[in-house]
A and B are shown apart, each in its own frame.
Chain A
Amino acid sequence: MPGCLSFPQLSTHCPKLGSMEDAKGGDQSVTEGFPPASVGAERVTQQVPQEDQGQLLYHEETIDLGGDEFGSEENETISEDSHNFIDKLNEHMMESVLISDSPNNSEDDAGDLGCLQDVVEPVEGNADPSLASITAGEGMHTPSNGSETDTDATPRDVSDMTSDSKASLKEDSTQEEATAMPVFEDAGTEDLTPRGEKAPGEEQVPEASSSQSSKDEPVPVCTIFSQASAAPAQPHLFLHDGFESQMVKSPSFSSASEMSAKTPPQVVRPSPSLSRFFGDPVSTNSLASGFFDSFTTSTFTSVSNPNAGSSVPEKSSPLTASMGEKALDSPDCSYPAGVPRSESGTSTAAPEIPDSPRPFSQIQTVFAGSDDPFATALSMSEMDRRNDAWLPSQSTRDVLTAVATQQCGTVFIDKESLTMPGLRFDNIQGDAVKDLMLRFLGEKAAAKRQVLNASSVEQSFVGLKQLISCKNWRAAVDLCGRLLTAHGQGYGKSGLPTSHTTDSLQLWFVRLALLVKLGLFQNAEMEFEPFGSLDQPDLYYEYYPHVYPGRRGSMVPFSMRILHAELQQYLGNPQESLDRLHRVKTVCSKILSNLEQGLAEDGGVSNMTQENRQASVQLWRTRLGRVMYSVANCLLLMKDYVLAVDAYRSVAKCHPEQEPQLLSGIGRIFLQIGDIKTAEKYFQDVEKVTQKLDGLQGKIMVLMNRAFLHLGQNNFAEAHRFFTEILRMDPTNAVANNNAAVCLLYLGKLKDSLRQLEAMVQRDPRHYLHESVLFNLTTMYELESSRSMQKKQSLLEAVAGKEGDSFNTQCLKLA
């Protein structure tokens, strides 16, 4: 930035900074963009010339104090007019003021870069020719301190300068300059394009499920028909053409599944449109099972999800998927010979209401497993209703009402309002740790690295959880992909009509959540895209009245909505995140107010027991708190600290048990801004709150805050003392250990700092091989010696033994 030093101090028309105009190359991106932690030095210089704009704005803001109307000088005819005029101009212009730290410097117009040469020469004594050449070399350089990579790896020392030739020195200096500081490769998102577009279907259906699917072959549609007619006891028997069940379609019936369970006679009521409904060949394959589904689907789906608290073997999960696919894929199933398509009133052009998997054998299993299916169904549906409740948008609501009432035969739904997800990349399997081992430690060492992959575990939810808990998230993403492929939503299936089940959406949620956890935000965004705003009609249970009879609400897990909203902030669109979060928050608040008014979650009339109502209020309050948390986090990312602090305070109201942590967090936010006084105020509040509760955790929190406060006051020695005090109480405290080590470095005790971190990592590698700790460790290795590579590689070995494939290898700074 030549000329940046010579600002005219008292110019009249503000021509200053003119010399910087060339830097103006339109770099608005800096201000708009989400400022990353590290912005290169050169970007800042480009921001400077906003002068013109500033002036333009300024004319509107003049304060009328010594204004013209008072000034008697204005009309003075004799005084030096021109001078006067300039005075007036002066008053309207802002003067750019030369800033300097010492008054001595302020007066002299220090020269630009070229000047440096002159100064350097006399100072340098006998080495001056060489230094002169250095500055010349530098002059050609852009001031890109921040972005240059670590020069440590190739230290070229400018030694014995006098003996060296000028030319070589010049080359030397240009490469040597500036950034000996460790430069962290800007993390960004990992570049993970799909490796090779493999055929999507390959080995998609694991053996287990294929054997299962063969089981369901004996359940062709026609058989079901015959079964239905052969079993006169079943209510469905009454459903001949020309009959209609009002009950199924009534949009106003609440807690439907119970009703349908309790009052089968209602179903018998004749209704013409129902006949069409059942006449629809796609749905015909399940007259009998359809009925059972009214109890079992909910049981079944929750059963397949082992956490729902029911007792059916978990093995059932992959089965659903594979069978669902079967049902969709096989034309025999969809269009039984006996029923012509025209009769059904469906058109293949418009996506009909898709059918969902209804595994017949599964139902039997369920029945075998539970003594009182009706009771189970009732309690499950109560819980389901509570969890799944959601308020659809008006257009979605219309579609769902139409589906329920079947006004004009099949409901025609615009393809665009359907959810048609599919895997967008086939395989992100891979193990960065192993790749690094191959590169640095050789094949032999790499062969020792054994992590689970998608094939080495059971192809089910059990295997999936196993992969997640041992931190093999990449493999888990892969397994989710396989299970989804089995469900017909595999690679390349995006944009093709499909159907959704509770399980398929849970799988999507897990897959997308893991992608976010892995920092693969772009990938997550790609696969999230077909889900739109998570409000399409086919994501509601009401859309599948025969699969989930009477069940209402959204299939989308609440956590998936949060994920969907939060993802945008990681992609640099925090505003969009906020919009989405506020939409979720609005629904949560509305549901809570419905509950408080004695209505059901969705605003319908309800006869909930007090107990259930209380449980529901509890659940939705928790969810509201979760949304508030996300809003606060998002505002923090946006660096809108004032609003973020407000948001965290309202989170503290939702979670009073987290108040001390949240107050400490707010204190840290103020420390980050630099407002030490306010930070101290919050830390004092924490001390007041924690006084009431005794216990180690409170004490540690107080000490931690005190340490941070000293850090803010630049007192690393005191900060270190407090971190060490925490360690006396809780020697395994990773944060205190790490932070104490960081303080030691700032105190000039590199070796001590290293010892502390190394000791901690060795003590419990399973816990302390954390990204942040390893980053600090490798940074110090780089500072310590030129042989940091070896030490980093031994860290890699330690990581290889303990960490799964989700480990972020960037913190090792090996690449």
Chain B
Amino acid sequence: MEVNPPKQEHLLALKVMRLTKPTLFTNIPVTCEEKDLPGDLFNQLMRDDPSTVNGAEILMLGEMLTLPQNFGNIFLGETFSSYISVHNDSNQVVKDILVKADLQTSSQRLNLSASNAAVAELKPDCCIDDVIHHEVKEIGTHILVCAVSYTTQGGEKMYFRKFFKFQVLKPLDVKTKFYNAETDEVFLEAQIQNITTSPMFMEKVSLEPSIMYNVTELNSVSQAGECLSTFGSRAYLQPMDTRQYLYCLKPKKEFAEKAGIIKGVTVIGKLDIVWKTNLGERGRLQTSQLQRMAPGYGDVRLSLEAIPDTVNLEEPFHITCKITNCSSERTMDLVLEMCNTNSIHWCGISGRQLGKLHPSSSLCLALTLLSSVQGLQSVSGLRLTDTFLKRTYEYDDIAQVCVVSSAIKVES
């Protein structure tokens, strides 16, 4: 069998087969009716075929298991299983057989053999069997290195190796997007795309938040006491299908208050994804820590604490603003100015002193205003001036209110 002449024939043969899950045999049903020429023949042939389902021969999906037909694809997070068989092809007893299976990845080399003890002897036509399992944790080229050493009857020490190369592919494409609510809540939308070639059952997609946040999953709705998935009965993802998961993150009280605001890049948490494919072949992945750039608020942040959504035309209403000093160490001395716009008219004194505001501290401010125009109106025209630096911060389009005529209001 050896092609290269200098090579010496080995007494043992090493065979490796990847054990993906077996598949179910499908048959091709061909039927006819009794009045047709073959009569019952076609149906009888199907009944005699052991791969059809007894009593429901037309059902395509049979019960017969067939072994994997090729190497297939292997994806990150799946378990690589392989049968390693060392067979004594010769007619002599071989001694001290040591079979070693290593997996070489781009970053490390792992030993996968169940036992590292040598087998004392192997009779002709006998096998040493081993099934190895390894959860694949790296993408890219992997090489399974199988080494066999043994001693012949003549006492000669023999050694050979075989290399089996395979590529580990990415199974999922995960994209994330953050939405910052005006409150401290953050919404995370994760798009998960199946980039394999087979349907994928998503068993679990959850967000493990970092210590700063509490998470609420928004992927199910409760209906009549039952928790229904927003994806309906379609629990699986076809190849190239994408699904969106939504999570709401709330900073824990202690963090929200201690820091005043969460600034800069913060760690939100990571997604934990478990899926299954053919006959329960399992895969699991975690994303790296998802990071979110907290929106920049400049030196002074003005946020709304309270605002009515609907107000009456030409009637004063109240809003509550919160002013936070976001600078790192500078104490500010602020002056508030209120400028009227076409529709918004501020009540009260413009240009009043707000007093000193220390770094990372905030103050609440109740303001009164009225609108002279109906419809959806934007609240604009607040100006804060830092008297120390002579710098003015402008706040426009802080919020919208719906202005309705008072007559309608009364009716409702």
Contacts and interface: CB of A to CB of B under 8 A. Distances in A.
Contacts of A471: 45
B15 interface: yes
Contact of A465 (B24, B30, B38, B197): B38
B182 to A, nearest CB: 4
Contact of B37 (A80, A305, A771): A305
A95 B177 contact: yes
B175 A96 contact: yes
B139 A4 contact: yes
Interface stretch (A328-336, A413-421, A709-717): A709-717
Contact of A158 (B16, B50, B162, B239): B162
Interface in B85-107: 85, 87, 89, 104, 106-107
Contacts of A780: 67
Contacts of B200: 674
Contact of B55 (A306, A558, A697): A697
A668 B288 contact: no
B175 A712 contact: no
Given A143-B167, A181-B17, A519-B28, A155 B281 contact: no
- Interface size bracket, B side: 35 or more
A786 B70 contact: no
8 contacts: A44-B73, A78-B393, A468-B41, A676-B280, A734-B64, A785-B13, A785-B125, A787-B89
Contacts of A179: 70-71, 164
B90 to A, nearest CB: 11
Contacts of B239: 31, 35, 47
B235 A678 contact: yes
B29 interface: yes
B179 A513 contact: no
Contacts of A305: 35-37
A642 B48 contact: no
A110 B106 contact: yes
Interface in B307-364: none
A714 B280 contact: yes
Contacts of A145: 71, 165-167
A4 B140 contact: yes
Interface string A44-63: 11011011001000100001
A393 to B, nearest CB: 23
B291 interface: yes
Given A155-B13, A665-B59, A119 B242 contact: no
Contacts of A1: 140, 167
B106 A72 contact: no
A78 B326 CA distance: 13
B17 to A, nearest CB: 5
Interface string B34-50: 11111111101100111
A775 B66 contact: yes
B31 to A, nearest CB: 6
Interface residues of A, number: 183
A353 B165 CA distance: 68
B252 interface: no
A101 B4 contact: no
Contacts of A241: none
A503 B36 CA distance: 10
B129 A307 contact: no
Interface in B154-204: 158-167, 169-170, 172-182, 186-187, 189, 191, 193, 195-201, 203
Interface stretch (A84-92, A267-275, A359-367, A447-455): A84-92
Interface stretch (A195-203, A606-614, A744-752): A744-752
B73 A78 contact: no
Contacts of B135: 101
A570 B104 contact: no
B61 A669 contact: yes
B372 interface: no
A98 B76 CA distance: 12
B51 interface: yes
Contact of B15 (A180, A668, A674, A678): A180
Contacts of A673: 199, 201, 235-236, 276-277
A129 interface: no
B207 to A, nearest CB: 12
A453 B398 CA distance: 89
Interface in A505-538: 506-507, 509-510, 513, 516-517, 519
B377 interface: no
A339 interface: no
A675 B235 CA distance: 8
Given A47-B240, A183-B70, A513-B32, A79 B179 contact: no
Contacts of B180: 65-66, 71, 91
B405 interface: no
A184 B69 contact: yes
Nearest to B190: A97
A405 B64 CA distance: 57
Interface string A781-794: 01111110000000
Contacts of A230: none
What is the interface of chain A mostly: helix, strand, loop, or mixed?
helix
B42 A513 contact: yes
The CB with the most chain A CB atoms within 10 A, among B125, B297, B298, is that of B298
A12 B10 CA distance: 57
A177 interface: yes
A673 B109 CA distance: 33
A243 interface: no
B285 interface: yes
B141 A138 contact: yes
Contact of B70 (A106, A184, A662): A184
Contacts of B276: 673-676
Given A101-B286, A750-B129, A785-B89, A91 B179 contact: yes
B31 A66 contact: no
Contacts of B236: 641, 673-675
A308 interface: yes
Given A95-B177, A307-B37, A509-B32, A41 B167 contact: yes
A74 interface: yes
Given A97-B290, A465-B38, A176 B240 contact: no
A739 interface: yes
Contacts of A429: none
B221 interface: no
Which 10 A/B pairs are nearest by Cβ-Cβ distance?
A: A674-B276, A94-B175, A79-B298, A66-B180, A674-B201, A159-B160, A661-B56, A712-B280, A184-B69, A734-B50
B354 to A, nearest CB: 17
A356 B187 CA distance: 77
Contact of B56 (A154, A658, A771): A658
Interface string A489-517: 00000000000000100110110010011
Nearest to B238: A639
Contacts of A45: 167, 169
Interface string A555-587: 001110011000000100000000000000000
Contacts of B38: 307, 465, 468, 510, 513
Given A102-B137, A110-B107, A182 B296 contact: no
A43 interface: yes
A183 B69 CA distance: 6
B140 to A, nearest CB: 6
A176 B163 contact: yes
A513 B169 contact: no
A603 interface: no
A768 interface: yes
A662 B176 contact: no
B279 A750 contact: no
Given A101-B137, A146-B73, A779 B67 contact: yes
A719 to B, nearest CB: 9
Contact of A516 (B17, B28, B55): B28
Interface in B1-21: 1-4, 6-8, 10, 13-19, 21
B67 A784 contact: no
A443 interface: no
A160 interface: yes
